[in-house]
């Protein structure tokens, strides 16, 4: 699989963290889409059908879990990775139950290059 043709949607309201992620993924040659809130993320996901979505849980306008549920209900079959600083089992369990095959990343525990590796694994790219 060529990563240059793979679309990644990042839904993150922290503009500094989003900028870091954008630079990392662009450097690796991915097509990058992004949104700053859940409503915008949902609209982009439904229009663009990205290969992978990286979704913050704590988003303005619509939280990431609700956004993911609406994406699934609309028939978009993108792989999802939840990205947040929530560490409690309630948030983790709810996020993972939305899609079954989603990953969950604690922001503070991961570097950008490790997040890119997770995305590549989801896509089957070495």
4: pLDDT strictly greater than 50: yes
Which pLDDT score, from 0 to 100, does residue 1 have? 45
Q: How far is CA 119 from the centre of its chain?
A: 9
110: which 2 tokens? 């991961």
90: pLDDT strictly greater than 80: no
DSSP secondary structure letters along 26-46: HHTT-EEEEESSHHHHHHHHH
**Three-state DSSP state, 59:** coil
69: pLDDT strictly greater than 70: yes
Number of H helices, E strands in the chain: 5, 5
Q: Name the residue with higher pLDDT: 106 or 65.
A: 65
Please report the domains of the chain, with CATH numbers, ordered by start residue: 3-123 (3.40.50.2300)
Its pTM stands at 0.87
Give the whole-angstrom CA distance, residue 16 versus residue 87: 21
């Amino acid at each position: 699989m060529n990563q240059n043709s793979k679309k990644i949607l990042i839904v993150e309201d922290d503009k500094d963290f989003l900028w870091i992620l954008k630079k990392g993924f662009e450097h690796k040659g991915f097509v990058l889409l992004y949104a700053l809130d859940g409503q915008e993320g949902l609209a982009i996901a439904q229009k663009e059908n990205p290969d992978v979505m990286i979704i913050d849980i704590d988003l303005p306008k619509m939280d990431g879990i609700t956004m993911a549920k609406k994406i699934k209900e609309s028939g978009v079959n993108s792989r999802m990775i939840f990205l947040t600083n929530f560490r409690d089992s309630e948030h983790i369990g709810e996020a993972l139950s939305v899609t079954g095959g989603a990953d969950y990343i604690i922001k503070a525990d991961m570097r950008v290059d490790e997040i890119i590796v997770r995305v590549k694994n989801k896509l089957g790219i070495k």
